[in-house]
Amino acid sequence: MPISIIGLDADDTLWHNETIFRMTHARFNELLGDFAEPEAIEAHQAAVERRNLTIYGYGAKGFTLSMLETALEVSDRRVPAEVLAEILSAGREMMRHPIEPLPGVEDALETLAGRAKLVLITKGDLFHQEQKLAASGLGSFFSGVEIVSEKTADVYARIFARHDAAENAVMAGNSVRSDVLPALEAGSWAALIPYPLVWAHEAADAPADHPRFAELSALGELADWIEGIG
């Protein structure tokens, strides 16, 4: 069957995201430098984020709340109010950071939109993800936008069913855990387009020799791979 739906991830697939988080992490480590070493702060922050994912979800807002919680715990609640204010400011800067599409993305989307229906499938804060899509200037390429709290096989199956069927769909993104494994489980095809930085929570091993999976070096290669499927 020909591919009729192309699902695309947003953060670190269409535009930079993890880079911004890493810069904020570095600033956060500096702010808490009087209380712990960077490695200890990073480990504590990671544990707090994992603990809070089911409460705050993904995105800069939840990350900011986890930074505040980490600061209080690492410092035994001795962190100065001025530092907490700086952390809040860092979170606001993340929300306001300019959206920079990755090289070649616009040309790739133009080509892909001529092949099948494009559906943006991303997880995170609804308001912020909508803001980022609008700021990217890429919204006109998409026939549908799905902002979800988590990417699971059931979520993909429901999304693809709304537009056609999972067996006629491809999901492409930078996360094996979120963009590849659950999409394959749902019955679709999946393409990994790696980003140089990977959040530890998204790390997973790519499937070996799966007939419906490919790893590509750039979004610009996706159209040719889909052509081969057809």
Q: Model confidence over 49-78: pLDDT tens digits?
A: 999 998 998 989 999 999 999 999 999 999
Higher pLDDT, 209 or 35: 35
pLDDT for 9 = 97
Residues 137 and 81 occupy one common structural domain: no
Listed residues 96, 119, 148: the one ending a domain? 96
Long-range contacts: 79-83, Cβ < 8 Å, 24+? Answer: 79/32, 79/35, 83/31, 83/32
Beta-carbon contacts of 201 under 8 Å, excluding residues fewer than 6 positions away, are 46, 49, 50, 53, 177
pLDDT for 199 = 81
Residues 130 and 215 occupy one common structural domain: yes
On whether the CB atoms of residues 175 and 194 are closer than 8 A, the answer is no
How many domains is the chain partitioned into structurally? 2
CATH of the domain at 75: 1.10.150.240
Using one digit for the tens of pLDDT, what is the confidence trace for 143-152?
999 999 999 9
Using one digit for the tens of pLDDT, what is the confidence trace for 102-123?
999 999 999 999 999 999 999 9
Give the number of residues written for the chain: 230
pLDDT category of residue 1 using cuts at 50, 70 and 90: low
Residue recorded with tokens 């707090």:
48
Beta-carbon contacts of 31 under 8 Å, excluding residues fewer than 6 positions away, are 71, 83, 86, 87
Residues 10 and 44 occupy one common structural domain: no
CA atoms in the 13 A half-sphere facing the CB of 183? 33
Residues 11 and 120 occupy one common structural domain: yes
**DSSP string spanning 3-54?**
--EEEE--BTTTB--HHHHHHHHHHHHHHTTTTS-HHHHHHHHHHHHHHHHH
Structural domain that includes position 74:
18-96
> For the chain, what percent of residues have pLDDT higher than 70?
99
pLDDT for 86 = 97
Residues 170 and 120 occupy one common structural domain: yes
Average confidence (pLDDT) over 169-196: 97
Residues 90 and 140 occupy one common structural domain: no
- Residue 190 one-letter amino acid: A
